[in-house]
Amino acid sequence: MNTYHIKHLDAHLCYHDLPGDTPALVFIHGLGSASSSAFPQVAARPCLRDRRAILIDLLGYGFSDRPSAFDYTMESQTRIIVELLAELHLSDAIVVGHSMGGAIAVLVAAAAPDIVTSLVSAEGNLDPVPGSVSGVVTSMPETQFAEHGHSQFVEQMQAAGLADYASTVRACDPIAMHRSSVSLIAQRSPTYREQLAALPIPRMFLFGDRNVPHLDIERLATDGVDVRIIANAGHDMAGDNPDGLAQAIAAAARTTH
């Protein structure tokens, strides 16, 4: 595990940096998850294991610190990631984001055009509407979620048979999860969707086949986004079909170079 010290917060961002060929893959996890948990089995697949992979645990999640002075907005998380990528002297990166991470990936690509050369979003947020997790989290005030809602949500995920996700939610900071949720679905201009459409780089958007047909498939394709369906998968593509997800990412890497 590697760490990046964020001086103004006196906090450490934790990430795996798996050696390999460029372009490097930069993985950003979803709400309540952690890249250190979700993506190793994807990065280790034969089609990707020779490529450099950077698996980032966002502040407040996984192994990273939980600074109380941090606001956990999507834009602030983006700035930290861009700082890390610059510190690593990357000039050729494919950013891969899942769910909330897909929204952050769009912001990272827009903020760092000299670093990001391609984008893969796995059912990333596009519009300011509550999702299945963010809707639950933001249905209660921050203090209530921190005191009761967080543990209740963990229990619900365990009862639903989602033990892996329950574990990463348990490990994340409740305040971080609530503030992330509020920011994720907040109104912003331009929206994630508008920024994705405007990016002048190759873009791929992935859907699990359990979530199709989907109204966004045609709309994204019209915007020039390469839309692909991951077989035998729902929203959690990394868990449901890591090989299928890895093959799609490998295809994005081949298209970029």
Q: Which residues pair with 226 in a beta bridge?
A: 204
89 in any annotated domain: yes
Can you give the pLDDT at residue 256?
A: 67
For 214-246, write each residue's pLDDT tens digit: 889 999 999 999 999 999 999 999 999 999 999
Can you give the pLDDT at residue 114?
A: 96
151 in any annotated domain: no
| C-alpha–C-alpha distance, residues 13 and 21, integer Å | 23
Can you give the pLDDT at residue 255?
A: 79
* pLDDT of 254 strictly over 90: no
104 in any annotated domain: yes
141 in any annotated domain: no
145 in any annotated domain: no
| Residue that wins the pLDDT comparison between 256 and 33 | 33
Kindly give the pairing relationship between strand 51-57 and strand 11-18.
antiparallel
| C-alpha–C-alpha distance, residues 223 and 127, integer Å | 15
Domain containing 207: what range?
Answer: 2-127+189-256
165 in any annotated domain: no
- The total domain count for the chain is 1
* pLDDT of 148 strictly over 90: yes
| C-alpha–C-alpha distance, residues 142 and 66, integer Å | 16
* Nearest CA-CA partner of 249 in 55, 118, 125, 124: 118
Q: Average pLDDT for residues 173-187, to the nearest whole number?
A: 98
* pLDDT of 82 strictly over 70: yes
120 in any annotated domain: yes
| C-alpha–C-alpha distance, residues 217 and 195, integer Å | 17
* pLDDT of 85 strictly over 80: yes
Q: 227-244 in b/e burial notation, b at 16+ Cβ within 10 A?
A: bbbbeebebbbbbbbbbb
For 53-65, write each residue's pLDDT tens digit: 999 999 999 999 9
73 in any annotated domain: yes
For 42-53, write each residue's pLDDT tens digit: 999 999 999 999
Q: Average pLDDT for residues 21-34, to the nearest whole number?
A: 97
Can you give the pLDDT at residue 257?
A: 59
Peptide bond into 200 cis (omega under 30): no
Q: Which CATH number goes with the domain that contains 62?
A: 3.40.50.1820
